[in-house]
Amino acid sequence: MTDKPLNHIGFIMDGNGRWAQRRGLTRSDGHKEGAKNLKRVLEACQKRGIHYMTLYAFSTENWHRPEPEVHLLMTLFRQYLAEAIKEFKPENDVQFRFIGDRKRFTKDIQERMATLEGLCSGKENYHLTVCLSYSGRDEIKRAVQKMMQDAIDGKIKPEDVTENTVSNYLDTAGLPDPDLIVRTSGEQRLSGFLLWQASYAEFYFPKVHWPEFSEADLDDAIEAYNTRDRRFGKVKVA
Ligand code: FPP
């Protein structure tokens, strides 16, 4: 358990390539190791009572990586989805959600995402959201398109739009905003991750590369989070 409520943690899983390079391995090896570590970190979060976990797995910009690397990542997503479907147990009570522009994926990957989401529909203890072909700007653009179409169809009026309305048009509709965002590998930027939702998130940037981000590193992140004074723009009451 954490001291301060930590309901939602986001991970920008950076550094697979550098981790591999340091060991004389290929970038593909780095991604494979990153995928393995993902499972360990998620279990560790669950053990610590964190109910919402969101992962930045593939950005809209990542499509521009060399074709063999994109191909390898697609193979990993396929395998990950197939395993998650095979190993699905209702009692784990995890709701998977895939957000981003999923139309860009091949049909079989889209079908696996839908199958897994269907299997866990109604689960509500843990929420695992995976951002694939995602960027916050693209998400906001798609939300504006939907909202404008609803306005044309007479379903919504400009004067009725609140911040809540905007949140409900985003891919993350219904999820609480992240409390803590961890980006591994020492880079200190969001790179488009949850731009609207991260408004009051705390940030933690460990130097360690994603494949070796351990339970102890997670505890350090939580400890750092516990020392933060979250005022949400207000003045602290003594
Ligand atoms: C960034 O590290 C990582 C990615 C673009 C891919 C993240 C994917 C995984 C962790 C594995 C697969 C995920 C799932 C959901 C199965 P980088 O390669 O940019 O690292 P670098 O900056 O050191 O090159």
CATH number of 200's domain:
3.40.1180.10
Per the DSSP assignment, residues forming a β-bridge with 97 are 129
Q: Is 29 inside a domain boundary?
A: yes
> Whose C-alpha lies nearest to ligand 1, atom 10?
34
Q: 14 an active-site residue?
A: yes
pLDDT tens figures, 74-102? 999 999 999 999 999 989 899 999 999 99
Q: What is the C-alpha separation between 238 and 96, in angstroms, rounded? A: 41
Residues forming a β-bridge with 52: 8, 127
Query: Residues with beta carbon inside 6 Å of ligand 1?
Result: 13-18, 31, 34-35, 38, 57, 62, 76-77, 80, 130, 210
Work out the pLDDT band at 1, boundaries 50, 70, 90: very low
Contact indicator for 76, 30 with CB cutoff of 8 Å:
no
Could you tell me if residue 61 is inside a domain? yes
Is residue 211 in a domain? yes
Q: What percent of the chain has pLDDT over 90?
A: 93
Number of domains in the chain: 1
Task: Determine the distance separating the centroid of ligand 1 and the alpha carbon of 90, expressed in angstroms.
Answer: 29
Q: Is 7 a catalytic residue?
A: no
How many Å lie between the centroid of ligand 1 and the Cα of residue 236?
39
| Nearest protein Cα to ligand 1, atom 12 | 35
Q: How many angstroms separate the alpha carbon of residue 212 from the centre of ligand 1?
A: 13
What range does the domain containing 25 cover? 8-135+178-227
Residue 87 maps to a domain: yes
DSSP string, 177-237: PPSEEEEGGG----TTTTTTGGGG-EEE--SS-GGG--HHHHHHHHHHHHH----TTSPPP
Is the pLDDT at 3 greater than 70? The verdict is: no
pLDDT higher than threshold 90 for residue 234: no
The answer to whether the CB of 94 falls within 8 A of the CB of 121 is no
67-86 vs 27-47: helix crossing angle, rounded to 10: 30
> Distance between CA atoms of 179 and 34, rounded to whole angstroms?
23
CA 235–ligand 1 middle distance (angstroms): 39
Tell me what the mean pLDDT of segment 30-47 comes to: 96
CA–centroid distance, residue 61 to ligand 1 (Å): 12
Cα 185 to Cα 207: distance, rounded to the nearest angstrom? 5
CA-nearest residue, atom 22 of ligand 1:
15
Residue 106 has pLDDT above 90, yes or no: yes
Does some domain include residue 141?
Answer: no
pLDDT in tens, 109-168: 999 999 999 999 999 999 999 999 999 999 999 999 999 999 999 999 999 999 999 999
Cα dihedral across residues 41, 118, 132, 24: positive or negative:
positive
Residues 6+ apart with CB under 8 A from 24: none
- Domain for residue 62, yes or no? yes
Lowest mean pLDDT among 2-11, 37-46, 112-121, 202-211: 2-11
Q: Enter the pTM of the model.
A: 0.94
Which is the catalytic residue, given 3, 7, 14, 229? 14
Assess if residue 60 is contained within a domain: yes
Which of 219, 217, 184 shows the shortest CA–CA distance to 203?
184
Tell how strand 52-59 and strand 8-12 pair up.
Answer: parallel
- pLDDT score for 237: 66
pLDDT computed for residue 236 by the predictor: 74
Assigned domain for 125 exists: yes
Instruction: State the pLDDT at residue 230.
Output: 79
CA of 187, closest atom in ligand 1: 22
Strand order in the sheet with 8-12: 94-99, 126-134, 52-59, 8-12, 180-183, 202-204
pLDDT at residue 4 greater than cutoff 80: no
Atom of ligand 1 nearest to the CA of 34: 10
Phi/psi at 96 (5° precision): -90, 140
Q: Which atom of ligand 1 is nearest to the CA of 37?
A: 10
Residue nearest to atom 8 of ligand 1 (CA): 57
pLDDT of residue 238: 62
Residue 54 in this model has a pLDDT that exceeds 70: yes
